[in-house]
A and B are shown apart, each in its own frame.
Chain A
Amino acid sequence: MADLYLNGTQYSAVRLKLRQWLLFEKAQVNIKKLIENKQTDEYANALCLLVSNTLGAPLNQVQDAPWYDVVSAYGLINELNQVRGIPLTKQTGPPDSKEPEIPWEYSGREWYWWLHTLSKEYGWLPGQVEELDIDDAISLLQEILVDEQINREWQWSLTELAYPYNETTKKHVFKALKRPEWMRDQPQVILPGLKLKFPKFMIPVGRVIGEDENERLVS
């Protein structure tokens, strides 16, 4: 919790619980779109509305407050509502510009998706789910998704599709089910021109395939 002032009136900014946080995130997405489209009037109104809803402050008071009070209030609210580094939330690639639209999508579905997913798994009531801290909710969701993926991989490994025939080796080779991006190892970044020196006793002896994929003999 953090105290802040808008036009001389004190308010307390708090970390939002799951259901409120989902609305907050949706408003954030909307604000981002407005600024990308240079709809500055709508942007300012949307930001004031978000601050007003989050702090419980009257909208006209936020709209009339000095701009830097509103901006710093928004910054504080945003900081309080950050999600800690959970792999599931890490964006590894560029965002999909065109997310496929699904026919059963509707406004406000996010909450019902979370409620359904968590209550199905843990048998919780709506009141319990909506009061979850967002870090807890996302961590639990990650565990659910990991469980689902491991089960899927197990099922996959039992099917013939997982063992395609390799014409060259004349063998069936296991082909693992692809994991979602956040479950994969992070690729190691090798800086160009960076040479690492290892003590001689650590270097393998015999036929070695180097990083250039050429085979050479090391003695």
Chain B
Amino acid sequence: MSVLSLSKAVKLYRLLKPYIPDIHQEPTALGFVSKIVYNIREQNPRAYVDALALMQGTDVSTIIETYTPEESVLEFTHGLEENQILALQDYCIKIGL
């Protein structure tokens, strides 16, 4: 998994935005990422798969065929870390997204 380009990173942020917790409620990076994963899987499984496909640079069907639910969570978490989700959120808020 490689770090996303600007255009894809902005897309990722827009997908994740509704599920990103308040940083003050989840002060640790691990807690923050875990909360995103929890929220998006609970509230919008389709957005979860879309976001994972975006981070993997593949399509939704490949994700569904390739990963078990547990593997997908690991990959998703890894993707968020790799793409520095906290910094991405900070940047997107700064530009007014």
Contact = CB atoms under 8 A, between A and B. Distances in A.
Contacts of B88: 67-68
A67 B97 contact: no
A68 B3 contact: yes
A65 interface: yes
B6 A71 contact: yes
Interface of B: 2-11, 14, 83-84, 87-88, 91, 95-97
Interface residues of A, number: 18
A35 interface: yes
Interface string A36-53: 101011011101100000
A88 to B, nearest CB: 27
The 4 lowest CB-CB distance pairs between A and B, nearest first, are: A44-B7, A67-B9, A66-B3, A67-B6
Interface in A20-59: 35-36, 38, 40-41, 43-45, 47-48
Contacts of A63: 5-7
Q: Which of A41, A43, A64, A67 has the most CB of B within 10 A?
A: A67
Contact of B10 (A36, A44, A68): A44
Contacts of B96: 35-36
Contacts of A77: none
Contacts of A38: 97
Contacts of B95: 35, 43
Contacts of B11: 40-41
Interface string A55-90: 000000001111110110000000000000000000
Contacts of A41: 7, 10-11
A60 B83 CA distance: 20
Given A67-B83, A67-B88, A40 B10 contact: yes
B3 A67 contact: yes
Given A40-B11, A67-B88, A68-B84, A35 B97 contact: yes
